């Protein structure tokens, strides 16, 4: 949520949730869900807290259907080293913290998968583009072309499909318009 897509709303959610944390959410109808998982060499604890979105939340009017907001706090121990992450969210889901926690986790799984694909296919993490608008434009183009490459029915890896598009105009055309010869 804090990626700046809706900066006013994002700031308002963070401020509101942080304010409610000061009283351990006792003044609102917050719901909590705690999960603990062990696997892949790590121990994770997630604290999900969901609450109704306040009617006077700044920026709420620009997000039709907004019903709830919340926070997910994750702590992870791997090889004796602990890391922590906190994520705020907005949702059109009604109160139901377990369902909302599942949706938040699924969303971040998609984000991670997309990031991994972009990094492997386009080596985005190694990009030397420093101007923000250029980075954003290239990121959009990379996501768009990644989507096209994934839709192509060929069995090659995404990296190979990308290379083939550069080597072969017919393959490039197949990928762009969605037909195969």
Instruction: Report CA dihedral (120, 122, 126, 130) to the nearest 10 degrees.
Output: -150
**Which pLDDT belongs to residue 167?**
92
pTM (2 d.p.):
0.55
Q: Are 68 and 53 in contact (CB under 8 A)?
A: yes
Is residue 95's pLDDT more than 70?
yes
Q: Strands across the sheet with 68-78, in order?
A: 31-39, 42-52, 68-78, 81-91
- Angstrom distance (rounded) from CA 88 to CA 23: 18
- Angstrom distance (rounded) from CA 9 to CA 181: 48
- Angstrom distance (rounded) from CA 16 to CA 84: 21
**pLDDT-based confidence at 116, cuts 50/70/90?**
confident
Is residue 115's pLDDT more than 70?
no
- Angstrom distance (rounded) from CA 172 to CA 162: 9
The residue-averaged pLDDT of 97-120 equals: 70
Q: At residue 139, what are phi and psi to the nearest 5 degrees?
A: -60, -45
- Angstrom distance (rounded) from CA 145 to CA 154: 15
Give the ranges where the chain is alpha helix by DSSP (H): 7-21, 97-122, 132-151, 158-167, 169-177
**pLDDT-based confidence at 1, cuts 50/70/90?**
very low
The residue-averaged pLDDT of 98-124 equals: 70
Q: Are 91 and 70 in contact (CB under 8 A)?
A: yes
């Amino acid at each position: 949520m804090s990626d700046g897509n809706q900066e006013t709303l994002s700031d308002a959610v963070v401020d509101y949730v942080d304010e409610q944390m000061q009283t351990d959410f006792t003044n609102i109808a917050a719901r909590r869900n705690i999960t603990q998982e062990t696997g892949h060499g790590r121990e994770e604890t997630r604290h999900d807290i969901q609450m109704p979105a306040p009617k006077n939340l700044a920026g709420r009017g620009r997000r039709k259907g907004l019903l709830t907001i919340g926070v997910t706090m994750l702590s992870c121990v791997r090889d004796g080293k602990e890391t922590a992450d906190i994520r705020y969210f907005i949702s059109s889901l009604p109160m139901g913290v377990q369902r909302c926690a599942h949706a938040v986790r699924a969303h971040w799984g998609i984000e991670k998968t997309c990031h991994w694909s972009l990094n492997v296919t386009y080596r985005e993490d190694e990009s030397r583009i420093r101007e923000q608008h250029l980075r954003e434009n290239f990121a959009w183009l990379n996501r768009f072309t990644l989507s096209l490459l994934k839709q192509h029915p060929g069995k090659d890896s995404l990296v190979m499909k990308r290379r083939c598009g550069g080597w072969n105009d017919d393959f490039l055309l197949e990928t762009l318009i969605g037909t195969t010869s």
